A and B are shown apart, each in its own frame.
Chain A
Amino acid sequence: MAKTNIIVAIVFIVFAILVLFLSNSIPVSKDAPITLDTPMFPRMLSYGIILLSIILILTNWKEAFITKTDNKLIWIGREQLKIVGIGLAIMIASAVVMIYLGFILAMILMNFSYMVFFKVKKKHVLFLEPLLTTLCIYAVFEYVLNVPLPKGILFQ
C-alpha cells in the first residue's frame, strides 16, 4: 500500500495546485464586508491538501523505498480494468445517446449492451430485461412521479 499511498499523495498535490491555479480567476468583490475573501477558503483547503499529502509521502517513504516491506501496488488486474472500462464506456455512450434519442431508446440500448457484454445467454432475459427495466422506470417517472424524462432532440 505504501507505494500506492505516495501516488495518491502526488495526485492530490496536483489537484490542489489545479485548485490554486483556478482560484486566481475567482472574482473578489471590492466593497466586501470584513470577512474572508471568496477565493480564500478553497485556497486554505488546497494548502491543507498539500500539507497532508506531504505527510502521507513522508510516512510511507521508508516502507516504499528503503525497507521495501510493503511496496506492492494495489491496483486492479488488466482483465478487471478492461471490464470496468467497457462498463463505463457503455454508460457514458448511453448518456450521450440520451441527448439525441431520448430516455427510452438510450436506456434500452444501455441495458441491452450490458446484457450482451455480460454474455447473458438466456433469450428471454437478454430481451426482456432491457425492455422491462426501461419501460417500468419510464412509466413510474412519467406518469406517477410526473417527472418528464428526456425525449431526445431528434424527436422534437
Chain B
Amino acid sequence: MKKVSIFILSLIVVSTLAFAGGTKEVKFPERGKSITIIVPYAPGGGTDAVARMLAKYAEPHLGVPITIINKTGGGGAVGWAEAAKARPDGYTLTMFAPNIVTYAIMGLSDLNYESFESVLMVNNDPGVIVVAKKNKDLDVVKMLKDPSYVSGGENPNFYLLAIEAKTGVKHKDIPYGGAAERIPAVLGGHVDFAVINIGEGKGQVDAGELIPKAVLSDKRIPALPNTPTLKELGIDAQMGAWRGLGAPKGTPKEIIAILETAFTKALNEPGFKEAMEKAAFTIEYKSSGDFYKFMKEQEVAIKKMLGK
C-alpha cells in the first residue's frame, strides 16, 4: 500500500513538473532517423578509422544507424565548416582533431573548437620519437640536446616545438607531407629522427626497422610498454594527436548528455577496446567538460609555441 501511494505521488509530482515547467523529456535519437558523423579527413586515415570503429560500437547504444561522411579539404577546415552549419539537433556530429585548435591560431580557418559543443574525447596518440635501426643505441636525450641531428617533420611540427620549448635546442626540421613521407625518410636514413604516432609505424616498429626511443606523454602507452616517456628522461614535453566528437553550436545540453553517455558506453565495450588496441590507437576518455578544458589548454600552449 505504501509503495503504491509513493508511486502515485511521485507520478503526480513528475507529471505536474513536466506540465508546469514545460520540460518535455527529450526523445533522442528518434527511431527511423540516423546520426551522421562528418569526418573531415579522407577514408583510410587515422581519424576516419577511429570514427568508423566508434560508430560501429555506439550504434547499439543509440539504437539508430550512424553514417560516416568524409568531407575532406583544407586540413579539416572544410568538413568542420560544413558541420558548423548543420542543424544543432544532435543528428550531425563531427570528429575533432588537433587542427581544430591549431588552424584558427595559424589564421587558416575562421572556426575553432569554440564554434562547436564538445561531446567527448575518444583517443590521444602521443608522439613517439623514432630512429632507424642503425641508430638503435643512440641516447635520445643527448640527441635532442644536440642540434646537429636532423628531424623529419612537417610545418609547423608541434611535437618538435614542444620538445624544443623544454630543451631550448633547435633542430633542423625538414617539412614532409605526412607520416607516409616521414617514415621512409627515417628508414632511408635521410633524416635522423621523426616524431610519429605509433599507429602509423607499428609494422616497422614490430619488425625492428624503426626503434621507438621515447613517448611524449604523461604515462607510458599500452602499445609500447617498454619505451620510456620523455618525462621519465627529464624532458617534460607532451603532445599528441587526439580525436573526439563535436556537435554544432547550440545543440541542446540534454542531447549532448545522451550522446556523451552512449559514446562513453561504446568506449568501454571490450570489442572497441580490442579493435583500438589492434590498430595501435591509444584510448583516452575525457568528458564533455574536460574535453573543452583540454582544448583550451592546448590552445594556450600552441599560441605560446608559435609566439602568437
Contacts and interface: CB of A to CB of B under 8 A. Distances in A.
Do A and B touch directly, given a CB cutoff of 8 Å in the complex?
Answer: yes
Interface of A: 33, 146, 148, 156
Contacts of B172: 33
- Majority secondary structure of chain B interface residues (helix, strand, loop or mixed): strand
B87 A148 contact: no
Contacts of B67: 146
Contacts, number: 6
A43 to B, nearest CB: 20
Contacts of A33: 172-173, 175
Interface in B167-210: 172-173, 175
Interface residues of B, number: 6
Contacts of B69: 148
6 contacts: A33-B172, A33-B173, A33-B175, A146-B67, A148-B69, A156-B87
Interface of B: 67, 69, 87, 172-173, 175
B174 to A, nearest CB: 8
A148 B91 CA distance: 15
Contacts of B173: 33
Instruction: Give 6 nearest A-B pairs by CB, closest first.
Output: A148-B69, A146-B67, A33-B172, A156-B87, A33-B173, A33-B175
A147 to B, nearest CB: 8
A156 B86 CA distance: 10
A120 B69 CA distance: 39
Nearest to B175: A33
A34 B201 CA distance: 29
B231 to A, nearest CB: 28
A56 B234 CA distance: 65
Nearest to B87: A156
Nearest to A27: B107
A37 to B, nearest CB: 13
Contacts of B175: 33
A56 B52 CA distance: 55
A146 B69 CA distance: 8
Nearest to B173: A33
A155 B173 CA distance: 50
